[in-house]
Amino acid sequence: MKVEVKDAEKSQKELSVELAVEKFDQVFESEYKKVAQKAKVAGFRQGKAPKDKILKEHGHAIRVQALEKLINESVFEAIQKEDIKALGAPEIKDVKFEDGEPISYKAFVDVFPTIDVTKLEGFDFVKEKIIVKEDDVEQVIENIRKNQVSYEPVEDRAVQEGDMTVIDFEGRKDGEVIPSATAQNYSLEIGSGAFIPGFEAQVVGMKTGEQKDIEVTFPEQYHEPSLAGQPVTFGITMKEIKAKVLPELDDEFAKDVDEKFESFADLKETIKTELEESSERQADDKLLNDIIEKIIEENSFDVPAAMVREQAFRLADQTLQQYMSYGMDPARFGITKEKIAEQHTATAEKQVKGALIINHITEKFELTVTDEDVEKTIEKYAKMSKMTAEEYKAEVEKHNGMNSLRNSINTDKVTAFLAGKNNVTIKEVTKEEVEARLKAEQEKAEEPASGE
């Protein structure tokens, strides 16, 4: 077997392979014997037919099987012989196969790319950091408070927004009861948006024991096709009304949130610290993303199609899970995993390049994560969580999170290294400013192009 190797595009190796005709003859004979043992030829017992009769009926199929087997075995032998670290299965092209002549073909193999990033410093970036305000802390506390709400039965008033009700309801279309739209003793918080639009608003004002018919129209995209876009009558029976009772914001409230908090002030301070940490994390993530995009722009290199394809399908899986979480069946709209992966190809390529750049910088500049780095990080987060370092470490290990922790530390080191090589201006902004900008960007993206 003769093998020549050269670099190809898209981080591939091109193998030109030539095989002696005698090698094919050996494989052909082996495949012939397998077929001959099972071949059924008219006028002969199974396995006893003459060779010429068998070849007349099965010769072409045997040749194809022998050629396929020979190529499959030889290409992997060639990859091992040339010590090529292949990513995925090789792609076979330009097969030449003529009687009495050597067999030749080309194999293209994805390999892990070798990159050398040289242009990574001297650029200008803005690190946008969201200021944590008192209102932000209070909003988090209010969300926690809502999660600790209790309900007390009321008898002397009608249903109001925010009440928890217990109802029986029966959906009817054209006078026929809809089993899937019928239930008894159903707990429904008014204003939660748990039911289709228009349902909850019409329950407001009902009193305990009251019965009422309401009309609603199901959304066009409803998951049950028979009800999508259809008007339905619901018979409602109000069985119980419970008023929402929010807990007082005091030391007892803080201890109910977590016994580690000694006072309400302690809870507020911890929330503020966590929000500031989150703000810093988001700012660093955005900065690193901006720097990586610039490095990709300034340093041209190819990545294996297999790696991009694998990442694109990962993104497709995430998208499909989001569809399912919204109660939507993607297949109903002709959305397939393959189509989504194709749409994500550009993003996947950028993410693969980013990961390769981070790995390259880590190795080239020896930004190793030491045990001391891990210990300091554990101590930092343990303090924020009001735990001992040993308790926090045990919790991380319990959830198999040590590798994730080390990767996070490594990312921080790369971010700090690249920030130090470039001109980074810190800009403080409010959450409202960021939200307004994102909204404006989304509206602009949704604007029809000129001429449409």
Contact 329, 223 (CB under 8 A): yes
Q: What is the pLDDT of residue 29?
A: 86
CA–CA distance from 241 to each of 77, 152, 155, 298 (Å)? 75, 8, 7, 64
Highest mean pLDDT among 63-67, 241-245, 435-439: 241-245
Distance, CA of 303 to CA of 356 (rounded, Å): 9
pLDDT digits (tens, 9 = 90+) for 110-136: 888 888 889 999 999 999 999 999 999
pTM value surpassing 0.75: no
Please write the tens of the pLDDT for every residue from 205-256.
Answer: 999 999 999 999 998 888 888 888 999 999 999 999 999 899 999 999 999 9
Going by pLDDT thresholds of 50, 70 and 90, the confidence category of residue 323 is confident
Helix or strand run (H / E) with residue 311: helix 305-325
Candidates 222, 209, 200, 95; CA nearest to 156 is 209
pLDDT confidence band for 376 (50 / 70 / 90): very high
Both tokens of 383, joined, read 């303090």
Task: Judge whether residue 443 has pLDDT over 80.
Answer: yes
Task: Give tens-digit pLDDT for 284-318.
Answer: 999 999 999 999 999 988 888 888 988 999 999 99
User: What are the pLDDT digits (tens) for 30-39?
Assistant: 888 888 777 7
The mean pLDDT value for 276-290 works out to 94
399, two tokens: 């959830």
